[in-house]
Amino acid sequence: TSASDRLVLTSRSPNNSVAILTLNRPKALNALSSPLFEQLNEELEKADEDESVKAIVLTGGEKAFAAGADIKEMKDKQYAEVYKTNFLGSWTKMSSIRKPIIGAVSGYALGGGCELAMLCDILLCTPNATFSQPEITLGIIPGAGGTQRLTHLIGKARAMDMVLTGRKINGTTAGEWGLVSRVVGEGENVVDEAVKVGETIAGFGAVAVQAGKEAVNEALELPLDQGLRYERKLFHSLFATADQKEGMGAFAEKRKPSWTNQ
Residues catalogued as catalytic: 69, 112, 115, 135
- Contact with ligand CO8 (CB under 6 A) among 9, 136, 138, 250: 138
Q: How far is CA 69 from the centre of its chain?
A: 16
126 with 173: CB under 8 angstroms?
no
Give me the phi and psi of 120, to 5 degrees please: -75, 155
Give 4 or 86: the residue with its C-beta nearer to ligand CO8.
86
In angstroms, give the least distance from the CB of 130 to ligand CO8: 8
Residue type (1 letter), 53: V
From the list 136-144, 174-182, 239-247, 249-257, the region that binds ligand CO8 by CB under 6 A is 136-144
From the list 16-24, 67-75, 175-183, 224-232, the region that binds ligand CO8 by CB under 6 A is 67-75
In angstroms, give the least distance from the CB of 29 to ligand CO8: 4
Per-residue binding letters, 91-130, with ligand CO8 (x by CB under 6 A):
x----------------x-xxx------------------
- Residue 71 lies near ligand CO8 (rule: CB under 6 A): yes
- Residue 72 lies near ligand CO8 (rule: CB under 6 A): yes
124 with 104: CB under 8 angstroms?
yes
57 with 191: CB under 8 angstroms?
yes
Spell out the residues 6+ positions from residue 78 whose beta carbon is closer than 8 angstroms to its own.
none
From the list 64-72, 157-165, 202-210, 214-222, the region that binds ligand CO8 by CB under 6 A is 64-72
Residue type (1 letter), 233: K
43 with 88: CB under 8 angstroms?
no
Phi-psi region of 162 (alpha: psi -120 to 50; beta: other; left: phi over 0): alpha
In angstroms, give the least distance from the CB of 115 to ligand CO8: 6
For β-strands 122-125 and 130-132, DSSP reports them as: unpaired
In angstroms, give the least distance from the CB of 143 to ligand CO8: 3
